[in-house]
Amino acid sequence: MIAHDSPDARPRPLVLGSTSPYRRELLERLRLPFDTVSPGVDETPLAGESPSTLARRLALAKARAVSLLHPDALVIGSDQVADLDGQALGKPGSHERAVQQLRAMSGRTVVFHTALAVVCLETGFVAEETAQVRVQFRTLDDTEIEHYLRAEQPYDCAGSAKAEGLGIALLDAIESDDPTALIGLPLIRTARLLRQAGLTIPALPPALSPSHGPQPSEGIPHPGAVS
């Protein structure tokens, strides 16, 4: 049975089960206070596991792992896996591996599966969604690949594709119904699941002291990542 908090009740703490700077920066756009916690989940694919299934399994595993540490909180877990003809392409981790990935994706269409899970252990709330982004890569030569990798060093990005930076120059087209999904966190879906869990989005900003007057620059405190 999924339990929901009333939107009028005191909001539960919000935790992002990730230390990814990309996901943290995206979640900040919703202007909600949150903490970040490393989920410490083994991301090794299971035998015969499809890219979409892998992304969904890891997103839920991350949310559940962190919810054990913060049972009263709403915990967000997310994972992204690049899919080239059914083959999972994860984070390259090295320059050599990134070169191999980009050579394989040159001139091809790659589907990026970005899975999302929101869990609250205390209430039993569990909700999941997945966004799919179809990315058409240009035909790339080794010089272009080398220049891109030296400039961006996207070794922590699934499929070596950092489309929010110089990686956009490697592409012919992006098709998605959730614009931030390719960066690592589909915010349309994230906001929807958090509303289902009882949060109000957009939320009213914190009350300001009359003695200070309006202070537009004083918004939600910037959360620090937990290593």
What is the distance of C-alpha 101 from the center of its chain? 21
What pTM value is reported for the model? 0.83
CA dihedral of residues 131, 102, 148, 158 (deg, nearest 10):
30
Provide the annotated active-site residues. 79
What does CATH list as the number for 14-196?
A: 3.90.950.10
Instruction: Please give the pLDDT value at position 204.
Output: 85
Instruction: Please give the pLDDT value at position 17.
Output: 98
The CA distance from 193 to 21, in Å, is: 21
Q: Is the dihedral of CA 154, 74, 63, 38 positive or negative?
A: positive
* 116 contacts 193 by C-beta, under 8 angstroms: yes
Instruction: Please give the pLDDT value at position 9.
Output: 56
Instruction: Please give the pLDDT value at position 98.
Output: 96
Closest CA to 23 of 176, 190, 193: 190
Q: What are phi and psi of 55, to 5 degrees?
A: -60, -45
- pLDDT, averaged per 10 consecutive residues of the chain (227 residues), comes to 48 93 96 96 94 97 98 97 93 95 97 97 97 97 96 92 92 96 96 96 70 42 36
The CA distance from 117 to 22, in Å, is: 17
Closest CA to 135 of 157, 108, 117, 153: 108
Please state the domain extents for the chain. 14-196
